Chains A and B, each alone.
Chain A
Amino acid sequence: MKNQVVSKNVPSLDHDLVKKAVLIRAVENKLLQLFSEGKLNGTVHTCVGQEFSALAFSGQLAKEDTVFSNHRCHGHYIAFTGDYEGLLAELMGKQSGVCGGIGGSQHLCKDNFYSNGIQGGIVPVAAGMALANKLKGTKRVVVVYIGDGMLGEGVVYEALNIISKWNLPILIACENNYYAQSTPSKINLAGDILKRAEAFGIKTYHNDIWNTEELMQAASASIAEVREHQKPVFHLVESYRLNPHSKGDDDRDPDEINWYRDKDPINVFARENNPLFGKIQAETEQTVNVAVEKILKEPELDIRDYYQPLQEVACGPWEPLEEIDARQVELINVFFKEHMKNDRSIVFIGEDVWSPYGGAFKIARDLSDFFPDRVFSTPISEAAIIGISNGLAIKGFRPFTEIMFGDFITLGMDQIVNHAAKFHDMYNKQVKCPIVIRTPMGGRRGYGPTHSQTLDRFVTGIPNVKTIALNTLTNPQVIYQSIFNNEEHPVIVIENKLDYGSKIAKKRLPHYTYEKTSGDYPVVRIRPLQSAPNATLLCYGGMVATLLDCLEPLFINFEIKAEVIVLTKISPIDYAAILESVRETRRLYVIEEGTMTGGFGSEVAASVSERLYEQVRIKRIAALPVAIPSVRSLENQILPNVERILHSIAETL
């Protein structure tokens, strides 16, 4: 490590370059001071000592290029945007900050610069942005900054694999400062950093900050290579941060730190160019101080400019439900065929979706024949798939991303919760991420515990994310059309394996009317032709068939005249139709295929209780809280079946 530190040619570095480095350091030091004075929100991860790494890549890009950085992003930000004032204001929590004070130190966004404090997840998002550039045919470069610590995250390797296979024009700038937070990398980092990239067939380069001029030139060359050849590059930069990981948490050997402080390029330049440096230093500090004084007086963001409560949609008029003599899978497939033809921003991403296979459930049949440049059949990498889709979405595409089984959505939860759902809000509304993730949930095919689950609870109630569930009573094309027309934020569509083969609204019970509301996400209502209902049964998606089988026995045995309500939008829920029904019936049964605690039924029960003055009897009927067995006879008893639903309801009478 220490052998590489040579510090050649530093004293004769370009003065403008040094000024920029000094500015970065001055801002970082000022932030540390402000932190001590209690004037900052949260903590800071300063990059003091690593300024030239920022300047080498961020500082040598065109403004149409993109930078995606991590928690230690200040240097990268200032080098790319020059906006030190915005950064200061952001950390000081002011409205004029980069993200209005919402993002803080780790979550910056401005003019093609993005950062996120989640380790690893930024890489596939940056890869998605590079893919967007490639699809648009621009010769733009994306730089993603990772650290040695981030090499512990699996999603980085998922992304590297795809980056290499798909030839994405991205430069991975890896800053190795030998420590991941408090842990020296030699403890946690096995093998060789460069060999990791080489194993994926990615071209690698290796520099250090102390041979500063060489670093600047090598970085410039890497950027040019990515731009010209439209292929990825992995550029490793040895460096050392002179300050603690954040604030006050430094257990490193002080001698070691001092050794690197002595070799630090800015400090070397300062020693060799004393009067000049002193001037630069003084001027820079003055500039920063003046800015801080001004910013201190500025206001913070008003909550009303940040958060507005969602308006619930009123219950639309009821109209008759139409039958459609086509299977759900065909209808969805045709939707994509038609819309991908007319709209070049739509991208279809998933595992095994290429023709002739067309995806595990054949939703993507023939799509790659028609649109080979916009259908992506991915490796088995759920996190990277969703991350890449996020990057595409931010850059103006409409990705429809298929996760093969709903159970696998757990592998992509970080990308959904900490990336897709966050971008719009944490960047203070500057970007939108209109990703649509489609995934089939549900059992009754004997696939066993990890391929049969209904995990709606993990993808509902996420702020800024809508969750929709298809069913066999409404036209899926109408749903997807609504999503396509209206949604600018992440949408998760829960489909159902068993429903794919069904036609729409075909079988009808003779004594019931079938109606739906006319809105974007129709609510379906099935009620007795003449009799007034005395119970409301609520469900979504794949539970419809079982619930309808309950209607007649419910009446014959228990005199329950049930009105069934089927929701399409299950998060956030519009309660108008449910309340209208429950005010009359005073009995609400929520039947769900997921388990009970903290699930869909829980949410409905709580919300209905809160909204109604009238007393209502509510009960949830759900899957038993145990892994779903493969053997059919047991599976049928674990998941809600007609018999158990009838008994559960009877118990409440």
Chain B
Amino acid sequence: MKLLQSIIVPHEIVNDEFVTVIQCHYKSGDRVKEGDALVLIETSKMTEELYAGCGGYVYYRCQADAEIKVGERILEIYEQPVSSASVPPQKIPEKNEAPSNGGEAVFSQSALRLIEELNMSKDLFKGRDLVGTEDVRSFQLQPGPTVSDQLESAENIEFQKISPYKKREIEYLNDVQSSHLSNTVSMLVEVGSCLAELNRVSKFFRNSLLLIVLSKLPSLLKEYPELNAFYKAGSVGFYENTALGLAVNFGDGLRVLKLPETGEKSITDVEVLVFDMIKRYMGKKLTSKDVAGVTFTVTDLSKEGIHFFAPLIPKGQSAILGISAIDEKLQRCILSLSFDHRVTDGRKASEFLRKLKKRIEGR
């Protein structure tokens, strides 16, 4: 049985450990050609097709709606048609689990009995020190995705499991926010002087400060490297380059699109860049290169009429700028900067915001 190609789950997105299989386009044993799209997978940021690198008979090692770990084999292409009986089982490399007692909790005998009774897994207590029956009971009562059958049988409640995508979105947003050390400062920007000009040159992003913000940010971020960084395990990682991302949601979930260099470009030029990006997104033509490597995100809710919000900081970043709707009567709008207090502080954030405001206001 000659194996022609094996495809492993690509590690496209730095922080993803798992991807979700959306759809297998063939069945195991089907004949495929080089270049055929074989399986659609979904990462935390986007969907991606995996293509056959040669012709042959496909054998899937995955299923639709299932999660599969990055680095594992997702499918193989053989010279001959294959069945499960004839295919060698995948040797999953044993992860070198050092029996570090630091990770293994000690369970009391009563706790072990209770865990078995309740059909729970010992893994739920990973990282704990001593687990007794009280600890098991109090874990039981915690609300969460692994909630026990007890709650599922309650009336008037219908549970829908969250999609793997949503799970990853939670993980993506939980990272910085879970430290409870993020904060938001906001500032009123007088738009009287610039709004007319903005609306004159812009086709698709009228009545919003988005384009002018995108043009002013890159150079300003160079002066504030701590807002172009991220916190990790007691250290701060400073990105060498700046890559702005625009958060968008066109009904199918939150995405952050990486924009090409927008620094000091004209409004018209920036609009073209943004518009192109969105068009490619809508046409599902984005690659992982288009979403990876964002160092600073901008999110614009002005179209939604939101006058103030405190955006959540994405994983791998230390700040995010939120643009609210313009108050037409007062000719101003609020810019909000959420920042990670482990990396920077309110003074710096305020200073940054003040400078941005001045540059937008043309001063």
B345 to chain A, nearest CB (A): 28
B130 near A561: Cβ-Cβ < 8 Å: yes
Q: Which of A35-43, A438-446, A552-560 contacts B (4 or more CB under 8 A)?
A: A552-560
A553 to chain B, nearest CB (A): 10
**Residues of A533-581 contacting chain B, CB below 8 A:** 552, 555-559, 561
How large, as a class, is the contact surface on chain A?
Answer: 10 to 19
Interface: A308 (CB within 8 A)? no
A511 near B110: Cβ-Cβ < 8 Å: no
Q: Which of A311-319, A523-531, A631-639 contacts B (4 or more CB under 8 A)?
A: A523-531
A555 near B101: Cβ-Cβ < 8 Å: no
B133 near A510: Cβ-Cβ < 8 Å: no
B105 near A559: Cβ-Cβ < 8 Å: no
Interface: B129 (CB within 8 A)? yes
A511 near B106: Cβ-Cβ < 8 Å: yes
B132 near A561: Cβ-Cβ < 8 Å: yes
Q: How far is the CA of A558 from the CA of B132 in the complex (A)?
A: 9
B108 near A528: Cβ-Cβ < 8 Å: no
Cβ-defined partner of B132 (8 Å) among A510, A512, A530, A559? A559
Cβ-defined partner of B109 (8 Å) among A511, A531, A557? A557
B106 near A552: Cβ-Cβ < 8 Å: yes
Chain A minimum-CB-distance residue to B108: A559
How large, as a class, is the contact surface on chain B?
Answer: 10 to 19
For B17, what are the chain A residues with a Cβ–Cβ distance below 8 Å? Answer: none
For A530, what are the chain B residues with a Cβ–Cβ distance below 8 Å? Answer: 128-129
For A528, what are the chain B residues with a Cβ–Cβ distance below 8 Å? Answer: 129-130
Chain B minimum-CB-distance residue to A529: B129
Chain A minimum-CB-distance residue to B127: A530
Interface 1/0s, chain A 473-512, versus B by CB < 8 A? 0000000000000000000000000000000000000111
Q: How far is the CA of A558 from the CA of B134 in the complex (A)?
A: 12
Interface: B107 (CB within 8 A)? yes
Interface: B135 (CB within 8 A)? yes
Residue among B109, B110, B130, B135 with max Cβ neighbours from chain A (10 Å)? B130
Cβ-defined partner of A555 (8 Å) among B102, B108, B128? B108
Chain A minimum-CB-distance residue to B103: A510
B105 near A555: Cβ-Cβ < 8 Å: no
B129 near A531: Cβ-Cβ < 8 Å: yes
Residue among A510, A512, A557, A558 with max Cβ neighbours from chain B (10 Å)? A510
For A512, what are the chain B residues with a Cβ–Cβ distance below 8 Å? Answer: 129
B108 to chain A, nearest CB (A): 5
Q: How far is the CA of A536 from the CA of B273 in the complex (A)?
A: 67
A511 near B129: Cβ-Cβ < 8 Å: yes
B129 near A556: Cβ-Cβ < 8 Å: no
B108 near A511: Cβ-Cβ < 8 Å: no
For A559, what are the chain B residues with a Cβ–Cβ distance below 8 Å? Answer: 108, 110-111, 132-134
Cβ-defined partner of A556 (8 Å) among B107, B128, B135? B107
For A561, what are the chain B residues with a Cβ–Cβ distance below 8 Å? Answer: 130, 132
For B135, what are the chain A residues with a Cβ–Cβ distance below 8 Å? Answer: 531
10 contacting pairs across A/B (C-beta < 8 A): A511-B105, A511-B106, A511-B130, A530-B128, A556-B106, A556-B109, A557-B108, A557-B109, A559-B108, A559-B110
Name A's B-contacting residues (CB within 8 A).
510-512, 528-531, 552, 555-559, 561
